[in-house]
Structures are given as structure tokens and as C-alpha cells.
A and B are shown apart, each in its own frame.
Chain A
Amino acid sequence: MRSQQKQFFERSDGRTLKKWQIRKTGWVYLIPAWLLLLAIVLVPMFFSFTSSFSDANLMNSDSQFIGFDNYNQIFKDSLFWEATRTTVIISGMSLLIQIPLGFFLAVLLNMELRGTALLRSGILMPLLLTPVAVGLMWRLMMNIDNGVINGTLHMFGLPAIDWLGDRNSAILSVILVDSWQNTAFVMLLLLAGLQNIPASPIEAAKVDGASTFQVYRHVILPLLAPVALVVVMIRIIESIKLFDFIYILTSGGPGTATQNISLLDFRYGFTFLQTAQAAALGIIITLSLTPMYLLWRRANRI
């Protein structure tokens, strides 16, 4: 039941206006977006969806309908469950680091200390390096024998760490590189959010005698919530899709230790040449991320 709020304004020249004409014409503003979507996303996604029910691959040109076979195969594939587990670990730990750390840095930068602009620019730089270079440079730096990180540890008398060769350290390495890049993203957005918060509620709370902690808990965080929820949603989605630098840094190794679900999808499509299977896994991944929609609704309710 659409609520037809019909409120009217008296215009200074006597004409009456309906409140929020845009309410009826909102969809017009979406037309360019829908056009873009249709051209680039909807059509290919439809093809992917239909091909996921076939046995299409790059090894031969004909393909047949095989129903849910691809999906069944995936759920029976131990690689899939392993990759899911790895993804949960990597993404989970990354988020636990990036969100609080990004928030912490945003708070510090919000203090407008001297040189804040320079510091902020510097912290942003990791986001700007091209993906191939990120993977290759970190691989170079993390080399156990002649990488600069272990070289530095050696200088301080610390033992070398097998960043890429040990199953557990490899996961930590991936999380490290991911956080190195994306904490900046979280920081920038939360900083913008913090700076958008009007001064009056904060001052009012302080006048009422609230401590800094209480100010944060009861005034700032609630006002920051919409931005924060969107940031969390974006980070979850992107973290699960993480692929570019993992491929170069570890190739999913050692073994399959750092093979997350996106890398597995790449393997299905490009290494095994099974494009239909890759499409099926892609659909599974996409569908499993639909709960993110709830995050979005929550963010927008406020």
C-alpha cells in the first residue's frame, strides 16, 4: 500500500505545489543507469546463467543442456568446500582488521593534526598501485631468501618468516597485502562520514557532560552508521571477489592453501577451460552474496 502523502505547499505566488513531485518520477532518474546495466550486465549475466546449465567449455564448440549437473558437481567438489573455508577465513580476518583499523585511522585523521593532508595522501597510495605491480612487488618483498622483509627482520636479529611457502603464513600474507591496500578505502570513506557529522549534536552532548567515549557511542557512531554499513557491505563483497593479486602472489598456493572462491572460479574457467562450470560457480557466489542486500536496506532505513 503506497502511502500517498499529499501535502501541499502554498507558494508565494499563490500556486500550490505537491510535496515531492519526484516521488512519482523517481524512475526517470534511473533510466540512464538501467540502460548501462542492460547493455553490459543484464545480457551477459543472462547468457552466463543459461550457459551454467550446459556443458559449454573452451575445448569444443558445441554444448548441450545438462540441467543442474554443473551445480551438483560443484557441491560435490572438495575444492569448492575448501575454497569456501579459505574465503571465510581470509575475508573474515581481513574485515576484522580493516574496519576497526580504518575507523581508528579516520578518527585520528579527523583530529586535524599538522601534516594531516600529507599523511592521508600517503595512506591512500596503496590503492593506486596497479594490481600486477602489487602482486609482483609483494612477492619480491616476501621472498624468504632475498626479500626485503626478511632482510629487515634479519637486521634486527629476528628469524625469517616463510611468508609464501608455509600454509598458514601464506594466508596471513594475503590478509596483510589486502589490508595494506583496502584499509585506506575504509579510512577515506569513514573520514568523509565523520566530517559530514554536524557539530551541534556533539557539542550538545559535551555540554551535557558526556565523556569522549560516550560521545562516540551515542552520537557519532549512530550518525556514522549509514556510511559504515555501506563500507562493510562493499568490503565483504570485494573481499570475497579478491583475485588479482592472490593469483600473482601465491597462485592459490602452497597447494590450495590460499585458493579462495574467486580464484577457484578462475581455475574452473581458465585453467580447466570449463566456462559453464565457472558460470555456475559464479551464480552460486552471486546468490550467496544476496544477504548483502539486507545490509543495504538497513543502512538506508536510518
Chain B
Amino acid sequence: MNKSKLARFSAFIVLLFFFIGSLFPIYWTLLTSLRDRLDIFAKVPKFFGGNLTLENYRSVISDETFISSLKNSVFITVLATFVSVLVGSLAAYALARNGRFKSRRPFESWMILLRALPGIVLAVPLYQMVVKLGLYDNSWALVICYAAINLPYSVWLMVGFIQGIPIEIEESAQIDGASQFRILTRIILPLVRSGLGATTIFVAMLSWNEYLLPLILADEGSKTLPVYVGGFVTSRTIDYGAMAAAACLCIIPIALVTLLVQKQLIRGLSLGAVKE
């Protein structure tokens, strides 16, 4: 008994250590956002307090580019995540359940090639294509681009989760007369809920923080938050305070989504999804 208690306690301490380590830079970003320039560069670091000011937040929130970037980010991330996870889950279902069909191997290879390609190599021809089609600085174009480049994640993650469901469940449903589509939506979907949650978190995270594509393929109309935050790196100065404020504001929506979806994760798992 004592040994187990000791083990649990040490585990807690270790986790706490990593918890603090993970959060400290974020905390520091928050502190920086509340400080003015001279305090940010003070030689002796102040971990708490000092002169705090909301000026950085005031200037960011009153910036209409921030508001429009926020709207764009939300719009693009929500849609891109939805499309990517939907398309990816469909593909994952086929890959997970079927042994061999002709287009399987090429598809799998393309998933890897797509992620292996450095962003810059994709961005230049994409730019030329997008401009030719008149889709430059277009939020919908960005949605499709994000969905495509994050597709491998959706596929890879969902394949794993779908494989975790024993085939017998589907077979018994098939015997009972369920169609393919019904099996997918009524049986598989609910059972992979936790996997769907994890996949959605990741694809949302990737989309939310995508930097290179909106930088190259958009100007002001479809500017997203990561590019907006990048705009604080100006020539002649970096406004660390305002940048940190923008970054903190930027992290809130995605953090909320993550925390909310995480709750689903816990619930789904404790229902004992797959066992008996």
C-alpha cells in the first residue's frame, strides 16, 4: 500500500515539474504582455509584479486588423478542420477496414510525400496557381489549402483509432442488415469519439497556427492571427509587449477548444468504448 502511495506521489511530483516547465514560457509571455518595453528588457528578471499595464492589450484590441484577423482565423480553422477530419476519416475508414484496393498504396505514399515536402516548395507554385485562378487573398482558398495539408494527420490518426475497434462489431451489424453507411455513422463514429476528439484537436491546432501559407497566399483580406502576430516584427523594432499580448489573445480560443474537447475525451474513454 505504502509503495503504491509513494509511487503515485512521485508521479504527481514529476508531472507537476513538467506542468510548470511547459507553462512557464506561456506565463512569461503573459507577463511580457503586461509590461512596458523597459521592464521587458530589465537585467534582473522579475517573476511577479513590477509595473503592470494593460496598454498592450488596449492597443491590440483596438486594432481593426486584429479583429479581422481573428475572424479570419476562426472561420478558416473551423471549416478547414471540419473538412479535413471529415474527408480524412472517410479515407481512414477505407484504409483501416480494407486489405487491398488499387488506389491504396499510391494514396498512402502521397500522404507521406505531402507532409514531407518543405512548406516553401509547396508555397511558391501554390501562389502562382492561386493567383492564376483569381483566388489570391481568399479565405475559401485558404480553407481548402489547410484542409489538404493537414489531411495526412486526419488520415493517420483516424486509421489508428478505427483499427482499435474489433471488426466483429461491424460484422454483427452487417448480419443484422445494416448498410455500409449506417455502420459507419451509427456504430463506428460513436465508438471512435475519443479518437475523433484527439484528431480534431490536432488538426485544429495545426490550422490555427499555420503561418507560411497565409503569409504567402493572402494580403490583408484573409490575414490570419499568426501572420498578424508576425507583423509585430517590424524593421527598426520588435514590439514585444504588443506581440505578447496578441499571442496571448491568440492562444485563448484554441486553448478553450482544446480544453472542451478534452472533456469529451475523458467521457468517451470512461464509457469503456471498445471492451466488451
Contacts and interface: CB of A to CB of B under 8 A. Distances in A.
Same complex origin of A and B? yes
Interface of A: 2-3, 9, 11-13, 17, 19-30, 32-34, 36-37, 39-45, 47-48, 51, 105, 108-109, 111, 113-134, 136-138, 140-141, 145-148, 151-152, 180, 184-185, 188-189, 192-193, 195-196, 198-200, 226-227, 230, 233-234, 237-238, 240-241, 243-244, 262, 265-266, 269-270, 275, 278-279, 281-283, 285-286, 289-290, 292-293, 296, 299-300
B94 A113 contact: no
Contacts of A244: 211-212
Contacts of B98: 20, 22-23, 26
A104 B244 CA distance: 32
Nearest to A129: B251
B22 A122 contact: yes
5 contacts: A36-B87, A230-B157, A230-B160, A238-B115, A300-B163
A69 B261 CA distance: 50
Given A22-B180, A29-B93, A29-B94, A113 B22 contact: no
A36 B120 contact: no
B19 A119 contact: yes
Given A48-B125, A129-B26, A265-B118, A121 B90 contact: no
Interface of B: 8, 11-12, 14-16, 18-19, 21-23, 25-26, 28-29, 32, 40-45, 47, 83, 86-88, 90-91, 93-95, 97-104, 107-110, 112-122, 124-126, 128-129, 144-145, 147-149, 151, 153, 155-157, 159-161, 163-164, 171, 174-177, 180, 194-195, 198, 201-202, 205, 208-209, 211-212, 225-226, 229-230, 232-233, 238, 240, 243-244, 247, 250-251, 254-255, 258-259, 262, 265-266, 269, 273-275
B180 A123 contact: no
Contacts, number: 321
Given A9-B175, A300-B159, A128 B255 contact: yes
B91 A138 contact: no
A109 B14 CA distance: 10
Contacts of A24: 101
Given A123-B15, A230-B159, 14 more contacts: A24-B101, A27-B101, A32-B86, A39-B148, A44-B125, A105-B18, A113-B12, A129-B251, A188-B201, A196-B195, A270-B120, A282-B118, A285-B118, A290-B112
